[in-house]
C-alpha cells in the first residue's frame, strides 16, 4: 500500500487557491484512475484504488494546511507503511515559478508550514515529495494572503499543466521510483 497525500485547505472558498495544489493533483489522480474519494477517515477525505498496478490510498487532509501531519501520521500508522518508500506528499511551493515542478526524496520543510507539521509528526524528512510551483509572493504582500489567493489567467494555464505533470510524476514514482521521476520531471 502506498499513500499519496495532497496538501490543501478544506472548503470551497480555498478550492482555487495557490495553497491547494496538492488537492488539485489528488483530484486528477482520482479521476484518471477511477478512485472514489468517498471515505472520511484519518482526518481526511480519501479513497483507495490501484494506480499502475500499485494499491494506493489518495489522501486529502481536512485538518487545514498547518496540521497536515496529524492526518498523514494517522494513515501511515494505520496502514503500517514506511514513509521513506511508500509515501508521496504533493504541495505548493512559492520558491518555484508557476508551472514548475520539483521532485525530491527527502529534504527540509523549506518554510512550508504543512511540511513542517508532517516532518514533526513523522519524525523524518525522508519521504518523496512533489512540489508544484505557484510563484513568489510580490513585495509588500502578506504570505497568507498570497497563498490563499487565486491565479491570473496566464498562471492558471501553467499551473493546470503542472498539476497534470505532477499526477504523472506520482504514478511514475510508484512504478519506477523517485530517481526516474526526478530525471523526467525536474
Which residues define the annotated binding site for tRNA? Answer: 14, 64, 66, 113
**Which of these is catalytic: 19, 42, 112, 121?**
19
Instruction: Judge whether 147 and 19 are in contact, CB under 8 Å.
Output: yes
Active site residue 165: no
Instruction: Judge whether 96 and 131 are in contact, CB under 8 Å.
Output: yes
DSSP for the chain? Answer: -EEEEE----SGGGTTSGGGHHHHHHHHHHHHTT----EEETTEEEEEEEETTEEEEEEEE-S-GGGHHHHHHHHHHHHT--HHHHEEEEEEETTS-TT-EEEEEE---TT-HHHHHHHHHHT-SEEEEEEEE--PPPTT--HHHHHTS---HHHHHHHHHHHHHHHHHHHHHHHH-HHHHHHHH-
Q: Write out the catalytic residue numbers.
A: 19
Amino acid at each position: 500500500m502506498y499513500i499519496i497525500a495532497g496538501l490543501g485547505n478544506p472548503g470551497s472558498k480555498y478550492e482555487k487557491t495557490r495553497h491547494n495544489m496538492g488537492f488539485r493533483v489528488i483530484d486528477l489522480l482520482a479521476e484518471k484512475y477511477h478512485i472514489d474519494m468517498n471515505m472520511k477517515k484519518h482526518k481526511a477525505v480519501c479513497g483507495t484504488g490501484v494506480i499502475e498496478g500499485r494499491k494506493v490510498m489518495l489522501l486529502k487532509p481536512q485538518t487545514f494546511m498547518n496540521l497536515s501531519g496529524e492526518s498523514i501520521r494517522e494513515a501511515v500508522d494505520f496502514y503500517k507503511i514506511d514513509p521513506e518508500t511508500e509515501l508521496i506528499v504533493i504541495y505548493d511551493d512559492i520558491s518555484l515559478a508557476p508551472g514548475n515542478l520539483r521532485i525530491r526524496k527527502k529534504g527540509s520543510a523549506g518554510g512550508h508550514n504543512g511540511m513542517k507539521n508532517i516532518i514533526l509528526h513523522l519524525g523524518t524528512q525522508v519521504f518523496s515529495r512533489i512540489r508544484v510551483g505557484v510563484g513568489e509572493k510580490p513585495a509588500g504582500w502578506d504570505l497568507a494572503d498570497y497563498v490563499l489567493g487565486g491565479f491570473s489567467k496566464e498562471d492558471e494555464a501553467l499551473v493546470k499543466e503542472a498539476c497534470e505533470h505532477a499526477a504523472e510524476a506520482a504514478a511514475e514514482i510508484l512504478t519506477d521510483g523517485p530517481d526516474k521521476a526526478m530525471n523526467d520531471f525536474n
